[in-house]
């Protein structure tokens, strides 16, 4: 497949799985020779000058000399007398910051000008296709119309978590999100989902099966792998159990904390890595010192170090898509326990981890934790099987290769 120019619409902040996904995929696409223009909500509504929304790694006189089939003019005027320079497809393409009114880890409210700015930028950049890593934004519903008018194929990755078995109010709420999005997704050229279960759910809601592409998340298995590590001082002499993710209702961390306090596994510590809206209300301190709140950890090397030191990774979510933190823990060779929310039951099935139903998670963990404490050979075997599963099905190389095949269906190059 020849190089293509992808207009990627995603997130760069605040940090969440969507951010990690978008940065990893676009970096891998660039490494394979494709051009990527990254569109994201990063300009408060008060700052609407398009001249400040674009950046270029070339000087204006250098850009004027470029002549590529996928590039754009170097003298784009934003309507206010501000020229905007761009680079060639083979180099870094412009980054487009769209204006917003409100932005969070879960959803984004764009400013009224965002759709117009997006349309104008696409007209000038002339990408081969648009790939939207959906951000739970009203703009998601306008993208099919915008791209159809511009004659651009539109691919989406639909991240919204779910639990097909609807065992909780949280799962029922996410089911409504799926119902809300289904009519719009049916108008996209293709929609990337993470599992067959998710595809069946959207098909049931009216999205044509022919437009759904099952491409699971993937991680760089050469980075996320077993290796040497340094145990943080606070955990030395202890066997480490780990939760890593947002502190939000859907993650159900309270069930894990409840079970841990009842069991208090001797010689073990539970590290909670992450932050979120429930930080102030969760009981993250323990009298016996066996629970430690690490906080949000941005550094990939430190997250890798924590996972390498952890004997068990626990993800008690009520709803999920496909957690990158879970895949990273599996790739490192950590034994994993997760609920069957989202794609996790499929990921861990057949011995790659321990799968729990999403109802009565605390009671189930009270049974599982003592077994994991007393059976270190079991955790070692689970970690080995988890690593093998990632290598078989969930590598970034396979993920990007599948995306390239999907792009090939929509772009003639």
Domain ranges for the chain, please list them: 5-218+395-410, 233-393
233-393 has the same fold as 5-218+395-410: yes
pLDDT at 92: 58
The answer to whether residues 15 and 299 touch, using CB atoms and an 8 Å cutoff, is no
Q: Read off the DSSP letter of residue 250.
A: G
**Rounded to the nearest 10 degrees, what angle do helices 17-31 and 396-410 cross at?**
70
Mean pLDDT of 90-119: 86
Q: Considering the entire predicted model, what is its pTM? A: 0.83
Instruction: Let me know how long the chain is.
Output: 413
Average pLDDT over residues 47-65: 39
Give pLDDT, residue 145.
Answer: 97
For 327-336, what is the mean pLDDT?
98
pLDDT at 18: 86
Query: Over the stretch 135-145, which tens digit does the pLDDT of each residue have?
Result: 889 999 999 99
Residue linked to tokens 């930028």: 121
pLDDT at res. 164: 66
- Within a 10 A sphere around the Cβ of 279, how many other Cβ atoms? 16
Class of domain 5-218+395-410: alpha beta
* Calpha distance 72→88 (Å, rounded): 8
The CATH architecture assigned to 233-393 reads: 3-Layer(aba) Sandwich (3.40)
Element (H, E) at 386: helix 376-393
Confidence of residue 289 (pLDDT cuts 50, 70, 90): confident
- pLDDT given for residue 166 in this prediction: 58
Q: What is the average pLDDT across 3-12?
A: 94
Helices (H), 71-211: 114-125, 143-150, 169-185, 196-204
Mean pLDDT of 12-37: 90
3-state secondary structure of 40: strand
34 vs 90 pLDDT, higher one: 34
Has residue 124 got a pLDDT over 80? yes
pLDDT beyond 80 at 45? no
Tell me how crowded residue 304 is: count the other CB atoms within 10 A of its CB.
18
* pLDDT of 313 strictly over 60: yes
Cβ(26)–Cβ(34) below 8 Å:
no
Q: Which residues pair with 362 in a beta bridge?
A: none
CA dihedral in degrees (343, 178, 100, 274; nearest 10)?
A: -30
pLDDT above 50: residue 271:
yes
Helices 376-393/324-332 angle, 10° precision: 120
Q: Where are the beta strands (DSSP E) in 126-248?
A: 129-133, 154-157, 190-193, 212-214, 239-244
């Amino acid at each position: 497949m020849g190089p293509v120019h992808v207009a990627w619409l995603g997130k760069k902040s605040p940090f969440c799985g969507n951010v990690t996904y978008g940065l990893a995929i676009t970096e891998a696409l660039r490494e394979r020779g494709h051009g990527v223009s990254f569109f994201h909500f990063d300009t408060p509504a008060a700052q609407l000058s398009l001249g400040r929304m674009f950046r270029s790694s070339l000087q204006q006189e250098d850009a004027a000399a470029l002549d590529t089939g996928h590039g754009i003019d170097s003298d784009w005027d934003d309507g206010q007398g501000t020229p905007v320079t761009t680079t060639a497809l083979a180099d870094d393409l412009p980054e487009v910051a769209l204006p917003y009114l409100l932005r969070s880890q879960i959803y984004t409210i764009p400013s009224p000008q965002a759709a117009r700015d997006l349309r104008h930028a696409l007209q000038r950049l002339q990408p081969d296709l648009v790939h939207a890593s959906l951000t739970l934004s009203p703009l998601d519903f306008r993208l099919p119309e915008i791209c159809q008018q511009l004659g651009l194929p539109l691919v989406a990755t639909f991240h919204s978590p779910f639990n097909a078995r609807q065992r909780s109010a949280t799962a029922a709420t996410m089911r409504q999100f799926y119902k809300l999005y289904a009519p719009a997704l049916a108008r996209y050229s293709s929609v990337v989902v993470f599992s067959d279960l998710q595809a069946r759910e959207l098909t049931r809601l009216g999205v044509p099966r022919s437009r759904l592409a099952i491409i699971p998340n993937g991680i760089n298995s050469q980075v996320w792998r077993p290796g040497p590590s340094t145990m943080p001082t606070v955990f030395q002499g202890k066997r480490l159990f780990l939760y890593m993710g947002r502190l939000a209702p859907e993650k159900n961390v309270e069930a894990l904390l409840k079970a841990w306090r009842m069991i208090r596994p001797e010689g073990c510590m539970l590290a909670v890595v992450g932050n979120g809206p429930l930080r102030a209300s969760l009981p993250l301190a323990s009298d016996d010192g066996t629970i430690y709140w690490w906080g949000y950890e941005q550094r990939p090397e430190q997250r890798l170090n924590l996972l390498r030191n952890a004997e068990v990774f626990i993800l008690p979510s009520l709803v999920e898509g496909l957690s990158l933190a879970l895949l990273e823990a599996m790739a490192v060779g950590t034994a994993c326990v997760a609920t069957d929310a989202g794609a996790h039951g499929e990921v861990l099935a057949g011995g790659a981890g321990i799968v729990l139903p999403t109802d009565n998670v605390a009671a189930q963990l009270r049974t599982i934790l003592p077994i994991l404490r007393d059976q270190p050979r079991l955790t070692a075997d689970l970690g080995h099987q988890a690593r093998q599963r990632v290598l078989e099905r969930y590598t970034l190389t396979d993920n990007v290769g599948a995306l390239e095949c999907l792009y090939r269906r929509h772009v003639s190059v």
